[in-house]
Chains A and B, each alone.
Chain A
Amino acid sequence: MSPWHIILALLLIPSMASAQAELSHQVQSRLAIETDSGRTRLWDTDWRPELRWRFDNGGRLTGSLRLRWQGEPGLRPADGFRDAYAGASRPQGLGDNAEIELRELYYERSLGEGYLTVGKQQVVWGKADGLKVLDVVDPQSFREFILEDFEQSRIPRWTLNLERPLGDWTLQVLWIPDQTYHALPKPDATFAFHSPRFVPAAPSGVAVRLNEAERPSRVFADADAGFRLSGFVGGWDLSLNYLYHYFNLPTLHQRVTLDAQPQVEITPRFHRTHLLGGTFSRAFGDWVARGEVGYFSDRYFLVADPLHQGEAARSTELSHVVGLDWSGLTDTFVSLQWFQSWLPQHDERFIRPKVDSQLTFLLRRSFLNETLRAEVLWIGGLDAGDGLVRPKLSHDLNDHLEVWLGADLFYGKHRGTFGQFDEQDRLLLGLKLGF
């Protein structure tokens, strides 16, 4: 019996029991035009039905699917590696232009003073917007780099999630026996990574061989596990987070062979790390201060010269985001965030800098009783001098239909995280229908 048969059984059984069902739908369609050439860069439509069953015992079962169809031309569904997914989480292709994915399927109910959520679900940690330090419990699809809404790009995993109050605090315990990791685009995909920070470059005349990724695959031994202790103390929202997990991004280990034909052999490999961190947020008049910090015990990074310096370099990593939100003007929201990642064991072998810094700035204003919203988001990489600017104008035409117009504009050097996509600037037109 395949995981899909189990899923279907789970979907059907409750409908025969005593339960109330709620069915809702969301359809989203987007068209993206390349600003330089006027070519269509993306034309896709997602249909997301969601069904909730409520049981007499207070339990609830939630299931949602995503059917994604791609127009010609544009990004292919397969641009995201499906082999990044564990078997029970993997989307199913429907021809070349469509795929279907079980987004979520989980059962939840109170257990005494506690609360149990079990099944395929999203677990979101952290206080930052758009920048991730602690929001790494679930992996992400980079099919459109970071341009897709996190709700769409985050990959839910099969998770046991138990919450229980401890005095004024709440303890959340996670066990995730789902070996699904970041879905990365293929080398020839629209948003394939090119920056040397992420992809090794072989010297001319040296052949490159890309091996299959060495993926953890033991359901129990390779499961992720962690906890979050969160509370509200003296006006502060605080949390302490711990996760023992495989970092969602594989390290591309390089091995050089100097036979008759020199060759660089690249093997994507996932590494375990301990993550210890915390979050805070508090309001001060018109301001809200928030932040998160995370310490990773074992990270591996590309090295500049694998011939002499080994396959990859190891370091611990300390990252943080500090954010300030201001809402001193009616219907206006301004947010500034500062992100830094620091590698204490950094040396000259590393390609990425010792300290990596980014700033984000968001200005949002709503009009007409929040039916019209205008915003601009800027994300800047301080080291490479690159960045991304995202203006957007959205309008609720009625209760069910939202339309928007936006742009994704990259700039900077090609070695930068954002500058590598400098050729991918696009204008976007979208609509979202809910019913």
Chain B
Amino acid sequence: MKYISFFPAFLFFASVSAAELPDGDTVAANINARNEGVQVSRNVTMEMTDRSGKTRTRETRNFRKYFGKEKRTAIFYLEPRNVKDTAFLTYDYPDAGRDDDQWLYLPAMRKVRRISAADRGDYFLGTDLSYEDIKLESRVSLDDYTRHTLGEDQVDGHRCILVEALPVDGETAKELGYGRVEQCVDMDIWFVRRARFWDTKGNPLKTAYFRDIRQVQGLWTQHQIDVENHKTGHRTRFLFREVDYRTPVGDQVFTQNALRRGL
């Protein structure tokens, strides 16, 4: 097991014995059981900053809706002009054996392209989150990882439980682009407050902080994600505004026709 070598370092920082804490699977199940509403609409700003400090900004409008257990997500780019009208759609199926279906609309081609769900480890349109990260939002994948509780830690003044997630096999690790993930989960609200990622060779890859978590219409909601890629020095900040769980989102938003038409 090439991942086992990381294990002792995190036990060292743990203040409470892992045996007294919920196991990894329980933590993951609680995260995914948290109510995130049947639907949500929101504006998301993506600020991407390279090693030299140069920042690019994208304004997007995002929608997510559950159709039974199937989750559909649509992201529409509003600004700047060079990426305006780009749109992304994904269908995430509850059946672990079924690949997601994903489409990307590129306005320069005026065509909706089918994209492979195996691209899920690729970075999403220049950000530091992968397609898979974007799709999962504040949830975690139960099928791609095995989980172990490491202990406790603190993030931004919040006590949280450290959980190590290891890809179930080498193929999955390659697809995801991660050899190991360590998440710090706030047990009061079952929200990941920090996630550290290592690449498939065991090198530190990136760290993501989930901040400004507060209730919107009774549902815990992140309003800021800060991700730093340790290999490239590139950073992305996601800012969530006008989060709305109540206003109905039409089924037609999650279609290829909607990608073409834009908002």
Contact = CB atoms under 8 A, between A and B. Distances in A.
Interface string A349-382: 0000000000000000000111100000000000
Given A283-B101, A402-B82, A369 B114 contact: no
* Residue from A149, A288, A331, A435 having most chain B Cβ neighbours under 10 A: A288
Contacts of B115: 283, 288, 327
Contact of B123 (A230, A369, A399): A369
Contact of A235 (B80, B101, B118, B252): B101
B261 A327 contact: no
Interface string B33-57: 0000000000000001010001011
A148 interface: no
A150 B106 CA distance: 12
B256 A237 contact: yes
Interface string B110-129: 11001111110111011110
Nearest to A282: B114
* Residue from A25, A122, A154, A399 having most chain B Cβ neighbours under 10 A: A399
Contacts of A399: 56-57, 80, 82
B118 A285 contact: yes
A170 B234 CA distance: 42
Nearest to B125: A370
A233 to B, nearest CB: 12
A151 B109 contact: yes
B183 interface: no
Say whether chain B's binding surface is mostly helix, strand, loop, or mixed: loop
B257 interface: yes
Interface residues of A, number: 47
Nearest to B119: A327
B218 to A, nearest CB: 29
Contacts of A122: 110
Contact of B261 (A115, A165, A369): A115
A108 to B, nearest CB: 7
Contacts of B114: 237, 281-283, 288, 290
A124 B118 contact: no
A168 to B, nearest CB: 10
Interface string A17-43: 000000011100000000000000000
A284 B119 CA distance: 11
B116 A434 contact: no
Interface residues of B, number: 38
Interface in A60-118: 108, 115
A262 interface: no
Interface string B220-263: 00000000000010100000000000000000100111000100
Given A163-B257, A285-B118, A330 B177 contact: yes
Contacts of A129: 109
B116 A287 contact: yes
A400 interface: yes
Contact of A434 (B57, B81, B121, B126): B81
A150 B101 CA distance: 27
A4 interface: no
B40 to A, nearest CB: 21
Contacts of A170: 255, 257
A331 B80 contact: no
Contact of B102 (A24, A26, A115, A283): A283
Contacts of B48: 369
7 contacts: A24-B84, A25-B81, A124-B109, A283-B116, A286-B118, A325-B116, A369-B232
4 tightest A-B contacts by CB?
A434-B81, A370-B126, A434-B82, A124-B110
